[in-house]
A = this chain, B = another copy of it.
Amino acid sequence: MQVIQSGVGELIQTPDINAFREWNREKPTALIDKTMTEAQAIDRFVNDGDYIGTELYGTVRCPMSLVYEIVRQGKKDLRIAGQGVLELDMLLAAHLVKALDITYIGLEVYGVSNCLRREVESGRIERVVDWSNAAIAWRFKAAAMGVPFIPVRSMLGTDTLKYSAAKVVECPFTGEPICLLPALILDVGLIHVHRADQYGNAQIDGISGFAAELARASKRLLISAEEIVDTETIRSQPDRTTIPYYLVDAVVEAPFGSHPGEMCYAYMRDEAHIREWVEASKKERSTREYLDKYIYSVADHHSYLELVGQDRLEELRRE
> Given the complex, which residues of B lie within 8 Å of A176, measured CB to CB?
148
> Given the complex, which residues of B lie within 8 Å of A205, measured CB to CB?
239
Q: A1-B1, A169-B1 are in contact. Are A153 and B147 (CB under 8 A)?
A: yes
The answer to whether A178 and B239 touch across the interface, beta carbons within 8 angstroms, is: no
Main secondary structure of the interface of A (DSSP, over half): loop
Within the complex, the shortest CB–CB distance from A275 to chain B, in Å, comes to: 30
Distance A118 CA – B134 CA, assembled complex (angstroms): 48
Distance A119 CA – B167 CA, assembled complex (angstroms): 45
The answer to whether A239 and B16 touch across the interface, beta carbons within 8 angstroms, is: no
Distance A123 CA – B149 CA, assembled complex (angstroms): 40
Q: Is A310 an interface residue (CB 8 A)?
A: no
User: In the complex, which of the residues B11, B147, B208 contacts A151, with contact meaning CB atoms closer than 8 Å?
Assistant: B147
> Given the complex, which residues of B lie within 8 Å of A17, measured CB to CB?
174
Q: Is A206 an interface residue (CB 8 A)?
A: yes
Q: Is A146 an interface residue (CB 8 A)?
A: yes
Closest B residue, CB atoms, query A146: B153
> Given the complex, which residues of B lie within 8 Å of A2, measured CB to CB?
1
Distance A196 CA – B150 CA, assembled complex (angstroms): 32
User: In the complex, which of the residues B146, B153, B172, B174 contacts A169, with contact meaning CB atoms closer than 8 Å?
Assistant: B172
Beyond A6-B172, A148-B173, 16 additional contacts (C-beta under 8 Å) are: A1-B3, A11-B173, A16-B174, A145-B152, A147-B151, A147-B178, A148-B174, A148-B176, A148-B178, A149-B172, A151-B151, A173-B180, A173-B183, A206-B238, A206-B239, A208-B239
Distance A176 CA – B149 CA, assembled complex (angstroms): 12
Q: A1-B169, A2-B1, A174-B16 are in contact. Are A151 and B150 (CB under 8 A)?
A: yes
> Given the complex, which residues of B lie within 8 Å of A172, measured CB to CB?
3, 6, 149, 167, 169, 180
Closest B residue, CB atoms, query A237: B205
Q: Is A15 an interface residue (CB 8 A)?
A: yes
Contact with B along A95-123 (1 / 0, CB 8 A): 00000000000000000000000000000
User: In the complex, which of the residues B145, B153, B173 contacts A182, with contact meaning CB atoms closer than 8 Å?
Assistant: B173
> Given the complex, which residues of B lie within 8 Å of A151, measured CB to CB?
147-151
Q: Is A308 an interface residue (CB 8 A)?
A: no
Within the complex, the shortest CB–CB distance from A214 to chain B, in Å, comes to: 17
> Given the complex, which residues of B lie within 8 Å of A208, measured CB to CB?
239
